[in-house]
Chain A
């Protein structure tokens, strides 16, 4: 089977009216919730996860992917207009994007962000489709040692490239793995860390954990901020079309951002945030034209490049997620969690077992990108209105979706108690500047890592050297070392 027959299968699945509808609803809901300040893609996906329970698996995943993109787009709108990055990927967009909005060029900033994201999304989809088959073939050949090393690379990527302290992120990853181990051990059947609570024998619910840490924790933190911390909302957007000079600057920046983002996104652990950050520093290195606004003052390249990069990376991040079952970022971890809820085991088997799901999802991603451009630019006025909703009306609604959602997963009030507890923990993490995203990644990867480690050492008779004597595993471990060295340099600067 070549790429085109595969894509044809995908087109057939994605373009059925019902799936087009779900993709649309996903994009719409994702944008609506993603635009609301203080709710990033992870919280958005988890709030809307219960909505997809009753759907067939393919439609559910198509809708979730739509929600994921929608919330990313929405996040950049918030970044530009309110100076609040909705998610890590648009932190860098805030710098020049909001300055543009303040200078009355909010329209072009939004337009360039949307068009750049669209272009990057299309390109990323092609990369994804092209890389998926060879990567899956590779995935069938690699053993547990390579899997373990790859997951380690993903976790180390998340730790070293995170914005905060490396040690604290490393600690959070381990806390996540340990939380993931709670429950019945699949190898021995022993219940671990259950402490005589029967509900814990199935482990901690994934949705409960994210809603508590990301949903409640953020709410408590937002409410305890003083009013003077709140930022200026620019409601006047102006004309959308960028002028000639802005086009000239933005187009090459979009291209550079797209390529960089596509490459970075494939690496497990290095997600949208780092690609946006890198592409911004690349743009800064390129010499300013005499008539150009300096960076930090509202340069359009500072919006175009990182927005394209984070969207390209968001797209290609599906490569490791779908082909290897290793999530590249916390949002991918949410998507993987959703797959398991729908009884789909992520990993190399997915393409042979559910080809229509796999390719349908890929094609619908492209479709989702088209819809987002259509949704975002003409409807910008509505999104701006959404931004003016006071937070005191929003957070009770968010809470409502969280508790009912979490209850609908298990039909057990235990999960409602637990979400409250994780809310307190999440607030404590924010207070201590501990990032919850690495924890989530560890939580998802933990049980898998333990299993692969056990298998590896069982096969090698307890010989640890197998991780370096196997070529491919050695290569991955070498990449981790390089990553650590690079990160060390960056932090010491």
Chain B
């Protein structure tokens, strides 16, 4: 057995797993009957259908050979980790340290995701965007969000 179309094969696998998760979880809810559907009826139907579609896609990806063998290709680890990390840090900082510090760190960390990263330029960008976000979100739109760290403003 050889996978002739990687993208389709893994897409199918994804659908099979997701469909199975939803279908199995659906069995925990009341199924009801066709004329009086319970909360489990519709998702169970869809979960099973999704898994079937997944099986068809994956099978086709193994059986039918494609000319160019559609490979998934290299994964961009640097942007993947950089963007996700920036996001996580922002979530951790926002409530206790306030918007300004959280935005500054977010922009700087996110800049690391690009392979054209330069430290001074990124610091300037972070500073400029922090000021802009403070003006737009705190002064102009008055979002209910802490601007400065709570241990300073109290």
Please give, as numbers and ranges, the residues of chain A lying within 8 Å of B50 by CB-CB distance. 171, 174-175, 178
Give per-residue flags for A45-67: 1 if the beta carbon is below 8 A from chain B beta carbons, else 0: 00000110110000000000000
Given the known A-B contacts A178-B47, A458-B35, are A416 and B91 also in contact in the complex, defined by CB atoms under 8 Å? yes
With A175-B15, A399-B110, A454-B37 in contact, do A167 and B53 touch (Cβ < 8 Å)?
A: yes
Q: Which residues of B contact A428 (CB under 8 A)?
A: 14
Tell me which residues from 87 to 124 in chain A have a Cβ below 8 Å from any Cβ of chain B.
Answer: none
Q: Which residue of A lies closest to B15 (CB)?
A: A171
**In the complex where A171-B50, A399-B83 touch, is A223 in contact with B114 (Cβ < 8 A)?**
yes
CA distance A464 to B50 in the complex (A): 21
User: In the complex the two chains form, is B57's CB within 8 Å of A168's CB?
Assistant: yes
Q: How far is the CA of A302 from the CA of B125 in the complex (A)?
A: 40
Select one of B46, B107, B115, B145 contacting A400, CB under 8 A: B107
A484 nearest CB across to chain B (Å) = 15
**A220 CB–B CB distance under 8 Å:** yes
- Within 8 Å by CB of A224, from B39, B43, B80, B144, lies B80
Instruction: Please give me the residue from chain A that is nearest to B14 by CB atom.
Output: A432
By beta carbon, the residue of chain A nearest B94 is A413
- A178's partner among B43, B87, B99, B106 (CB-CB below 8 A) is B43
- State the Cβ distance, A204 to closest chain B Cβ, in Å: 14
Residue of B nearest to A450 (CB): B42
Give the shortest distance, in Å, between A70 (CB) and chain B (any CB).
18
| A413 contacts across to B, CB distance below 8 A | 91, 94-95
Residues of B within 8 A of A171 (CB): 11, 15, 50, 53-54, 57
Of B26, B33, B50, B99, which is in contact with the most chain A CB atoms at under 10 Å from its CB? B50
CB contacts under 8 Å to A, within B84-130, are: 84, 86-88, 90-91, 94-95, 99, 103, 106-107, 110-111, 113-117, 125-126, 129
Task: Report yes or no: A175 in contact with B18, Cβ–Cβ below 8 A.
Answer: yes
Contact A224 B8 (CB under 8 A): no
Please tell me if A424 contacts chain B, counting CB pairs below 8 Å. yes
Asked whether, in the complex, the Cβ of A404 is within 8 Å of the Cβ of B99, the reply is yes
CA distance A392 to B79 in the complex (A): 11
Q: A400-B107, A462-B35 are in contact. Are A190 and B29 (CB under 8 A)?
A: yes
Across the interface, name the chain B residue whose C-beta is closest to A178: B22
Measured CA separation A231–B32 after assembly (Å): 56
A330 vs B53: C-alpha distance when bound (angstroms): 22
Q: Which of B11, B84, B103, B116 contacts A433 (CB 8 A)?
A: B11
> Does B135 interact with chain A (Cβ within 8 Å)?
no
Which chain A residues in 218-243 approach chain B with CB under 8 Å? Answer: 219-221, 223-225
* A420-B91 in contact given A220-B80, A464-B34 (Cβ < 8 Å): yes
Q: Is the CB of A432 within 8 A of B145?
A: no
Is B150 in the interface zone, CB < 8 Å from A? Answer: no
Compute how far the CA of A155 lies from the CA of B47 in the bound complex, rounded to whole angstroms.
17
B103:A400 contact, CB within 8 angstroms: yes
Once A397-B129, A400-B106 are accepted as A-B contacts, the answer to whether A432 and B49 lie under 8 Å apart by CB is no
Shortest Cβ distance from B82 into chain A, in angstroms? Answer: 8
* B72: interface (CB < 8 Å): yes
Number of B interface residues in the complex (CB < 8 A): 70
Question: For the complex, what is the distance from the CA of A392 to the CA of B57, rounded to whole Å?
Answer: 37
Assess the A178–B18 pair: CB atoms within 8 A.
yes
Residues 422-467 of A contacting B (Cβ, < 8 Å): 423-424, 427-428, 431-434, 450, 453-454, 457-458, 460-464
Specify which of B103, B126, B141 is in contact with A51 (CB 8 Å cutoff).
B141
**List of B residues within 8 angstroms of A188 by Cβ:** 30, 38-39
Residues of A contacting B39 in the complex (Cβ-Cβ under 8 angstroms): 185, 187-188, 190, 192
Is there a chain A Cβ closer than 8 Å to B153's Cβ? Answer: no
- CB neighbors of A among B1-59 (8 A): 7-8, 10-11, 14-15, 18-19, 22, 25-26, 29-30, 33-39, 42-43, 46-47, 49-50, 53-54, 56-57
Q: How far is the CA of A54 from the CA of B91 in the complex (A)?
A: 23
A404 with B129: CB separation less than 8 A: no
Q: Flag whether B154 is at the interface (Cβ < 8 A).
A: no
Q: Which of A50, A165, A177, A400 has the most CB of B within 10 A?
A: A400
In the complex, what residues of A have CB within 8 A of residue B139's CB? Answer: none
B11 touches A434 (CB 8 A): yes
Contacts of B137 in A (CB 8 A): 404, 408
Distance, CA A187 to CA B39, complexed state (A):
8
* Closest residue of A by beta carbon distance from B43: A181
Nearest CB on B from A492, distance (A): 14
Given the interface pairs A171-B54, A220-B80, A224-B80, the reply to whether A399 lies near B72 with Cβ below 8 Å is no
> Is the Cβ of A400 less than 8 Å from the Cβ of B129?
yes
Q: Is B142 among interface residues, defined by CB-CB distance under 8 A? A: yes
Q: Indicate whether A224 sits within 8 Å of B78 (C-beta atoms), given known contacts A188-B38, A192-B29, A404-B133.
A: yes
Beta-carbon contact of A396 and B106 below 8 Å? yes
Q: B11 to chain A: which residues have CB within 8 Å? A: 168, 171, 432-434
In the assembled complex, 20 residue pairs joining A and B whose CB atoms fall closer than 8 Å, in A order, are A167-B57, A171-B15, A174-B46, A177-B46, A178-B50, A193-B43, A223-B82, A223-B83, A223-B113, A224-B78, A391-B114, A403-B106, A407-B145, A413-B91, A413-B94, A417-B88, A432-B10, A433-B7, A453-B42, A457-B37
Q: Given A193-B22, A392-B114, list of 6 further CB < 8 A pairs? A: A188-B39, A224-B78, A395-B114, A403-B90, A424-B80, A428-B14
**Which residues of chain B have a CB within 8 Å of any CB of chain A?**
7-8, 10-11, 14-15, 18-19, 22, 25-26, 29-30, 33-39, 42-43, 46-47, 49-50, 53-54, 56-57, 70, 72-76, 78-80, 82-84, 86-88, 90-91, 94-95, 99, 103, 106-107, 110-111, 113-117, 125-126, 129, 133, 137, 141-145
For the complex of A and B, the 4 pairs showing the least CB-CB separation, nearest first, are A224-B76, A462-B35, A223-B79, A462-B34
